[in-house]
Amino acid sequence: MKQLYVLVWLVLVGASHTLFAQETITKAEQKSVIDSLNANMERNYVFPEVAKKMAATLNKKFKSGSYDEFTSPANFAGQLTADLQNVSNDKHLRIRFDPRRAAMMIQQQEEEGPHEPDPQFMKRVARSNYGFNEVKILEGNVGYIDLRGFMNAGVAGETAAAAMNMVSNADAIIFDLRQNGGGDPGMIQLLTSYLYSEDDLIHLNNFYFRPTDEHTQTWTLPYVPGKRNPDAEVFVLTSDYTFSAAEEFTYNLKNLERATIVGETTGGGAHPGGAELIGERFVAFMPNGRAINPITNTNWEGTGVSPHVEIDSEGALEKAHQLALEKLADQAEEEDKQYYAWFASYLKAKNEPAEISKAKLMAYVGKYGPRNLLYEDGKLYYQRDGRPRMDLLYMSDTSFAFADDPSIRIDMEYEKGEAKALVISSSNGWKERNERSLTKP
């Protein structure tokens, strides 16, 4: 059985999203489902003693009539999930009423040989670009990958390779896992391999699987399609939604000291498993293994992965981008230091805005050749004659940046406390000086 980490299991196993409002469940079927679930947990759940406690809880609640009010099978499945998680604290363990998926699993059990992937599932993951929501290069040559799920590398490998090759020349890479609920460990292995040299063989993780009493290991790969980027500074963005395989990727890189984690503590699910048929109309995601990190000899189950830099997840990208550029500037030779520092100072001013008085802003207002500085509603604006007005970001007493274009900057020249000239410049070295001609444009 394919082992998965998963919170977004409904997507990964191709479950139907139909609301079964008209479906009902009898008490006899409830008993059958509980018996099937208990037997499956006894065979497969990662911790046998916990499986026994969960089974005892379900049996007790059924005998007491606690489930009698649940005539909807979907609501019954939801209550079973809540009861199981209340005993185990295992967020991976879930029960779902899914007749379509259950029927497919029954059919597959009856057929011999390999099974073709569910075509509806394949269509869905293709439309989601296999989890790779956005790949781009941010200011200062920082690569950015917004990854929403770790799909099977056999299916999503080409897309992953394209994404990693897109950022292969970046000086830093930010992996955004704030909306990533998990997936397949094989994708963790593939992506991580791009962050190390082909000469490095890095031990990523160990796993124990209870059904087979088997221990396995994962390592970086000796070959990946395209170009590796072992020298890039790496940052991982997290939220409390980040879960499962997304947590393993984060946990591995954190303990290998290969990445800086920025954001919130993750959800806390470290037990891989797979889909199991329960009765004739229900499906469970059954955690049957556990991760055992080779550095910590434990995992993140129940605790999550804590960030190096704790910040609200909404501000994590801007903060990580700033930190990446500051780190690159600190490490760079003098010629490159100015390049990184230019964008880092912009992000610092944006992330940590400073106060400036109206009087000081008004002192800048004036006409500087074809360039004008204007004040309105507590803000300073730049406008070239005949062109649209642009918002300015305050950086220092004598410096501003274009709020929507960090590559352009304005520096003010002073003499005896008065603005005398405006110097506009760009990150590529272009510069132009305009003397003040009027106090007001």
257-274: average pLDDT: 97
pLDDT tens digit sequence for 173-204: 999 999 999 999 999 999 999 999 999 999 99
Phi and psi torsions of 255, nearest 5°: -75, -25
pLDDT tens digit sequence for 25-62: 999 999 999 999 999 999 999 999 999 999 999 999 99
Q: Is the pLDDT of residue 315 over 60?
A: yes
pLDDT at 21: 53
Extents of the domains making up the chain: 5-110, 119-275+288-329, 358-435
pLDDT at 2: 56
Q: Is the pLDDT of residue 284 over 70?
A: yes
Q: Is the pLDDT of residue 74 over 90?
A: yes
The whole-angstrom separation of Cα 161 and Cα 153 is: 10
pLDDT tens digit sequence for 289-302: 999 999 999 999 99
Pairing of strands 260-263, 309-310: parallel
11-24: average pLDDT: 55
Instruction: Map residue 35 onto helix, strand or coil.
Output: helix
Q: What is the mean pLDDT of the chain?
A: 93
* Structural tokens at position 360: 């000081």
pLDDT bin (cut points 50, 70, 90) of residue 234 is very high
pLDDT at 16: 46
Q: Are 423 and 411 in contact (CB under 8 A)?
A: yes
Q: Is the pLDDT of residue 110 over 90?
A: no
Instruction: Map residue 178 onto helix, strand or coil.
Output: coil
396-400: average pLDDT: 91
Q: Is the pLDDT of residue 63 over 70?
A: yes
pLDDT tens digit sequence for 117-175: 778 888 999 999 999 999 999 999 999 999 999 999 999 999 999 999 999 999 999 99
Q: Is the pLDDT of residue 12 over 50?
A: no
The whole-angstrom separation of Cα 382 and Cα 391 is: 7
The whole-angstrom separation of Cα 374 and Cα 178 is: 39
Core vs surface per residue 256-278: b (16+ CB within 10 A) or e: bebbbbbbbbbbbbbbbbbbbbb
* Range with lowest mean pLDDT among 53-67, 107-121, 199-213: 107-121
233-255: average pLDDT: 98
pLDDT bin (cut points 50, 70, 90) of residue 310 is very high
**pTM: predicted TM-score of the whole model, two decimal places:** 0.89
338-360: average pLDDT: 92
The whole-angstrom separation of Cα 204 and Cα 232 is: 19
The whole-angstrom separation of Cα 96 and Cα 83 is: 13
119-275+288-329 CATH, one of 3.90.226.10, 3.60.10.10, 1.10.3720.10, 1.10.1740.10: 3.90.226.10
Instruction: Map residue 186 onto helix, strand or coil.
Output: helix
- Angstrom CA distances, 86 to 90, 236, 302, stand at 8, 31, 12
pLDDT bin (cut points 50, 70, 90) of residue 15 is very low
Q: How many CB atoms lie within 10 A of CB 120?
A: 10
pLDDT bin (cut points 50, 70, 90) of residue 14 is very low
Q: Is the pLDDT of residue 10 over 70?
A: no
Instruction: Annotate 203-265 with DSSP letters as a single string.
Output: EEEEEEETTTTEEEEEE--S--SS---TTSEEEEEE-TT--THHHHHHHHHHHTT--EEEE--
pLDDT bin (cut points 50, 70, 90) of residue 85 is very high
